[in-house]
Chain A
């Protein structure tokens, strides 16, 4: 087929028309975006004024919180986007303010019936809207919605259940961990850190339930319960923690070793030494690190034996533990038959340096 001048003309006209339409759409969408941004900036000024007034609002004695809202604001509050902007600002501000000021933000949220918007999102099918709704309810102290949040603590979506679990702890403190009785999905390492951080902001209370969680069918719950036992020094759970040393899951066993390092008693070195031989290297190193902490004279012969391991990391960990076991242990390290040879010479120098710090 030959290309005629008519074909070229048609192609040029079509291309130009396409470009014009594209340009038109781009300008139109930019125009709308700019308009929205300007509107949002204007709204932010208005929401800031409203929030500042709410923070310092003093209700009459024995009267519920009821701030006067002017006509213009009432009109704006009919717009979904404006209400969401206000909720966003309330959430951010509530993270910075406590006491009466923080409570007033929640009162304003209730007065303007903004929880309706949040609940709409909570029942939305998309996970990020649900997660945002949970955050809003938690930040604005909407405790009455905690039963709804409880149902989400075992949601199939990880982000939803993480938000719901964190919020439940925010609402109810240590008692909020009751969701651990029912969850079937694992708690990620990151989420466990978040929960422990959240708990550290709350005064320590009764710690009921840890013994049950140590027997959970969900291994991540056991691991978390072990972390709780270590953080809050739950000595009364000692026997149950020792039982976890025999758990079929290696991660549970490792956490149990780490936990016993924090809450040990006279018999702990024996428990740790008895499992040592059948454990992988990571666990063996954890045992040696725990024995270093316990510095018990009874562990000296065991540690001396580990000095002859073929693995240098094990040798170093055993030597560290021994060096911590008083003069007898130090002598065992320094009098090692290869003390003047590599790697023993370096190991001893390293340990001495650490001990002098």
Chain B
């Protein structure tokens, strides 16, 4: 599965990349939202994992733009900090499919990603 991971925290990005590659996925990473939108158009990922707070374009804007840009339904998992319940609700309304609250276990993420494999 082609997965795009967007998070401005480099170490977080490396950790997710390492785990997902270990699970056999092809992983693309980006540290800012604007670049994430470019990558979505170029690589057409099967799944997007995005942090909500990112420079230039937020995770929320990414969720909002995905279907418009690609014309297809790409599942989105949000990474959010504790206490962002309202933002998570808004993200679901925009079309997000799942969310994981930080701090989270990479094993849990791995299981959640597997749910989107068809």
Is B104 an interface residue, CB under 8 A from the partner? yes
Select B15's contact among A52, A95, A98, beta carbons within 8 Å: A52
A100 close to B105 (CB less than 8 A): yes
Q: A-facing mask of B1-29, CB < 8 A → 1, else 0?
A: 00000000111101100110010000000
Q: Tell me the chain A residues, 74-122 only, with Cβ under 8 Å from chain B.
A: 89, 92-102
Is B83 an interface residue, CB under 8 A from the partner? yes
Report Cα–Cα, A102/B18, bound state, in Å: 16
Number of A-B residue pairs at CB separation under 8 A:
54
Is B67 an interface residue, CB under 8 A from the partner? no
Is A263 an interface residue, CB under 8 A from the partner? no
Among A56, A92, A98, A99, chain B packs the most CB atoms within 10 A around the CB of A98
23 of the cross-chain contacts (CB-CB < 8 Å) are A48-B11, A51-B11, A52-B18, A55-B18, A55-B106, A56-B106, A92-B11, A93-B12, A93-B15, A96-B9, A96-B12, A96-B102, A96-B104, A97-B15, A97-B106, A98-B104, A99-B107, A100-B105, A101-B106, A101-B107, A102-B103, A102-B105, A201-B82
Residue of A at shortest CB range from B101? A98
Select A56's contact among B9, B11, B12, B19, beta carbons within 8 Å: B19
In the bound complex, residues from chain A placing their C-beta under 8 Å from that of B108 are 99
In the bound complex, residues from chain A placing their C-beta under 8 Å from that of B105 are 97-102
Looking at the assembled complex, report how far the CB atom of A33 sits from the nearest CB atom of chain B, in whole angstroms: 22
Is A197 an interface residue, CB under 8 A from the partner? yes
Q: A-facing mask of B80-118, CB < 8 A → 1, else 0?
A: 001100000000000000000011111110000000000
In the bound complex, residues from chain A placing their C-beta under 8 Å from that of B11 are 48, 51-52, 89, 92-93
In the bound complex, residues from chain B placing their C-beta under 8 Å from that of A98 are 103-105
A96 close to B103 (CB less than 8 A): yes
Looking at the assembled complex, report how far the CB atom of A123 sits from the nearest CB atom of chain B, in whole angstroms: 29
Interface residues on A, range: 10 to 19
Report Cα–Cα, A199/B40, bound state, in Å: 39
In the bound complex, residues from chain A placing their C-beta under 8 Å from that of B83 are 197
Residue of B at shortest CB range from A96? B102
Report Cα–Cα, A142/B58, bound state, in Å: 35
Q: A96-B104, A97-B106, A99-B108 are in contact. Are A56 and B18 (CB under 8 A)?
A: yes
Report Cα–Cα, A344/B89, bound state, in Å: 40
Q: A92-B9, A96-B9, A201-B82 are in contact. Are A55 and B104 (CB under 8 A)?
A: no
Report Cα–Cα, A55/B107, bound state, in Å: 11
In the bound complex, residues from chain B placing their C-beta under 8 Å from that of A96 are 9, 12, 102-104
In the bound complex, residues from chain B placing their C-beta under 8 Å from that of A100 are 105, 107
Residue of A at shortest CB range from B106? A101
Select A97's contact among B18, B22, B82, B104, beta carbons within 8 Å: B104
Among B10, B12, B106, chain A packs the most CB atoms within 10 A around the CB of B106
Residue of B at shortest CB range from A53? B18
Residue of A at shortest CB range from B104? A98
In the bound complex, residues from chain B placing their C-beta under 8 Å from that of A99 are 104-108
In the bound complex, residues from chain A placing their C-beta under 8 Å from that of B18 are 52, 55-56
Q: A92-B9, A197-B83, A201-B82 are in contact. Are A55 and B103 (CB under 8 A)?
A: no
Q: Tell me the chain A residues, 43-88 only, with Cβ under 8 Å from chain B.
A: 48, 51-52, 55-56
A101 close to B15 (CB less than 8 A): yes
In the bound complex, residues from chain B placing their C-beta under 8 Å from that of A201 are 82
In the bound complex, residues from chain B placing their C-beta under 8 Å from that of A48 are 10-11, 14
Report Cα–Cα, A98/B10, bound state, in Å: 17
Looking at the assembled complex, report how far the CB atom of B114 sits from the nearest CB atom of chain A, in whole angstroms: 16
Residue of A at shortest CB range from B17? A52
Looking at the assembled complex, report how far the CB atom of A106 sits from the nearest CB atom of chain B, in whole angstroms: 12
Report Cα–Cα, A197/B82, bound state, in Å: 10
Report Cα–Cα, A309/B54, bound state, in Å: 53
Looking at the assembled complex, report how far the CB atom of A203 sits from the nearest CB atom of chain B, in whole angstroms: 14
A52 close to B14 (CB less than 8 A): yes
Report Cα–Cα, A93/B18, bound state, in Å: 15
In the bound complex, residues from chain B placing their C-beta under 8 Å from that of A56 are 18-19, 22, 106
Residue of B at shortest CB range from A47? B11
Report Cα–Cα, A51/B22, bound state, in Å: 16
Report Cα–Cα, A98/B9, bound state, in Å: 16
Looking at the assembled complex, report how far the CB atom of A40 sits from the nearest CB atom of chain B, in whole angstroms: 14
In the bound complex, residues from chain A placing their C-beta under 8 Å from that of B106 are 55-56, 97, 99, 101
